[in-house]
Amino acid sequence: MDTLIRRGRESDLPALRDILNHYILHTVVTFEMVELSLENRKTWFTQFREKGRYQLMVAEKSGATIGYAASLRFHQRPAYGPSVMTSIYIHPEYLGQGVGEQVYSSLLDNLKNEQEVHRAYGLVVLPNQGSVRLHEKLGFQAVGLLHEGGYKFGKYHDVRIYEHRLEK
């Protein structure tokens, strides 16, 4: 069955929490360290709108929510407002099937039409071949490296900064 890409809804949050918690507990691709609750995801969800800087797109297959791409605040200082940070997580059973590309492309297409968004930044903990390939394929450029920028599971990890200029 085809993958449906649509706006995120509150009813997606239990599935999105479970997907993210898998990566939090078992990998360093996210620098979150402890499992997230449904209440935490409900608060997170309140930032999203159909227009503007902060948007949430989800992938659905056979009625199940299997991943998301989101744009989030990049930095709390106000002059960073036109820059957003992106986040993308696909259910581990559906990796490498084009779902990430579909949902991330949809989010980026939305952002390209938003006058108040100028740059999108993806922070990729290395190594992550899938995420590196996806960012480069979708038009992001590597613009920096945070050398040993994070510490998780007993060691330091490098983080590559990817920038999308969103071709207005």
Ligand X SMILES: CC(C)(COP(=O)(O)OP(=O)(O)OC[C@H]1O[C@@H](n2cnc3c(N)ncnc32)[C@H](O)[C@@H]1OP(=O)(O)O)[C@@H](O)C(=O)NCCC(=O)NCCS
Q: Give the residues lining the site for ligand X (CB under 6 A).
A: 23, 29, 88-90, 95-101, 122, 124, 128-131, 133-134, 137
Report the nearest approach of ligand X to the CB of residue 80 (Å): 19
Q: How far is the CB of 38 from ligand X (least distance, A)?
A: 20
Instruction: Report the alpha-carbon distance of residue 160 to residue 126 in Å, rounded.
Output: 7
DSSP state, residue 36 = P
Hey, what are 167's tokens? 């071709």
Q: Which residue, 21 or 97, has its beta carbon nearer to ligand X?
A: 97
Which one, 8 or 100, has the nearer CB to ligand X?
A: 100
Q: Measure the CA dihedral 139/145/146/148, to 10°.
A: 120
Chain residue at closest Cβ approach to ligand X: 100
To the nearest whole angstrom, how small is the minimum distance from the Cβ of residue 134 to ligand X? 4
Q: What are phi and psi of 15, to 5 degrees?
A: -65, -40
Q: How far apart are CA 95 and CA 78, in angstroms?
A: 36
* Nearer residue to ligand X within complex by CB, 49 or 133: 133
- Minimum distance from CB of 78 to ligand X (Å)? 25
Nearest to ligand X of 52, 130 (CB atom): 130
Distance of CA 147 to the CA centre of its chain: 21
